[in-house]
Structure 1
Amino acid sequence: MAKSVKKRHFSTSEPSVPASLILNSISFNIDGSIQYKEKPYSFASEALEAYTDDFHLSCELPEINDTKVNLDQSPLEFLAKLNKEEFKGSTVVELMKKEGTTLGLTVSGGIDKDGKPRVSNLRQGGIAARSDQLDVGDYIKAVNGINLAKFRHDEIISLLKNVGERVVLEVEYELPPVSVQGSSVIFRTVEVTLHKEGNTFGFVIRGGAHEDRNKSRPVVITCVRPGGPADREGTIKPGDRLLSVDGIRLLGTTHAEAMSILKQCGQEATLLIEYDVSVM
């Protein structure tokens, strides 16, 4: 089993990188790669390394006419502003339950509750939680092909209880934020070996490549299930990026393809994880 690596804080005196430069030189491709100066990079860390090299060669700021650009804004603050854009991801979740049992999820919202039907709680040990496909806050658009847009809260609950043994949920979720290496954050990678339980490793992934490049993201681990394999091993944390599974790189894969790779790999797998390290 791979040795756990503790995430640490570092100190640096390097100057901060103006957010306006990131806006003008870095973009995200449809396949999930990072574009900098017309050259694609497989990992964000590689693109930012090239960017930082250029920045240190010439620290003169370009002429900027947009008065809305704040030159004192840090890269992370700028990206936080970008991440406020409401880009949604979607996935299909299939769950199996025995007659008389429940999925183990709580749903809020409905047309009478002034809100979309969302997952508000996942009962630990329940079918939904152990599937590692759902997360709190997910919007349930449909159940077995039945659109929930005009359903009252009590109708949604009744449908979920009586839908049968095979439950197919059409789910919409908030895309994970974009993380970029800069003066306050650097990227590190670590290999982690995990053993499956119930054909999952105990974490939820979101993101992946999308035909709309605004929706393309790295494959991000958004939730680590308490008591699951990843939680017990201890290295993986929410927000970490999953770069490869047993040497199969996930760059350019859709969310569905990444899920399929995780399901089809063996009971033991080595995962390459990228994570953020705060620089003080």
Structure 2
Amino acid sequence: MNGSLLSNSVDIKLKRGPAGLGFNIVGGVDQHYMDNDCGIYVSKIKEDGAAALDGRLEEGDRILAINGIRLEGQTHKAAVDLFRTAGEDVELRVQKKSSHHANGPSDPQTEHVPPAPYLGILAVLTGAAAAAILAFVYMRNVRKAF
């Protein structure tokens, strides 16, 4: 790992709750979550779990280490086993997901927000469609009156 990867990393301490740490992971050297990236990532934060109650861990964050053990080069199963045997107090080294990546969004499922001009066109078209529907309903009711 180079220094730029660690520039947005944080340490998060969690206390295992009745339902575990409260998040799911994806990735590993045998199950790439992203192309050319064998890291371990948070895929889901469970409501009311330890991670959700703490509030710092987010879906899409990369877990770099657990209790000082680096996850780089680990299989998915090996990473899961490390989480399961980590004890009650768990320290995570986490690389926060970045909002923008040099080659595009880091999350392939990032919602696309259209530019402002397209929103204006959409508003005009929506208004025109509503007017056409109202005109149709009016004309239909006027015809019935005869």
* In the alignment, structure 1 residue 203 sits paired with structure 2 residue 23: yes
Shift in Å at residue 229 of structure 1? 0.3
Larger relative strand fraction: 1
* In the alignment, structure 1 residue 191 sits paired with structure 2 residue 11: yes
- Give unpaired runs (5+ residues) of structure 1: 1-41, 50-180
Structure 1 ranges of 4+ moved more than 3 A = none
* In the alignment, structure 1 residue 267 sits paired with structure 2 residue 88: yes
Summarize deviations over 1:137-166 as a string: whole Å, max 9, x none: xxxxxxxxxxxxxxxxxxxxxxxxxxxxxx
Corresponding residue number in structure 2 for 1:255 = 76
Given the two structures, how large is their TM-score scaled by the length of structure 1? 0.32
CA distance in structure 2 between the aligned counterparts of 1:226 and 1:234, rounded to whole angstroms: 11
Quick check: which has more Rg, 1 or 2?
Answer: 2
Q: CA RMSD in A?
A: 2.7
- Give unpaired runs (5+ residues) of structure 2: 101-146
* Superposition map of 1:99-248 within 5 A: 188-198=8-18, 200-210=20-30, 217-248=38-69
2:84 aligns to what SS in structure 1? helix
Change (3 A) 1:211 1:219: closer
Given the two structures, how large is their TM-score scaled by the length of structure 2? 0.59
Aligned identity (percent) is 26
Shifted more, 235-244 versus 196-205: the winner is: 196-205
CA distance in structure 2 between the aligned counterparts of 1:237 and 1:274, rounded to whole angstroms: 10
CA distance in structure 2 between the aligned counterparts of 1:217 and 1:274, rounded to whole angstroms: 14
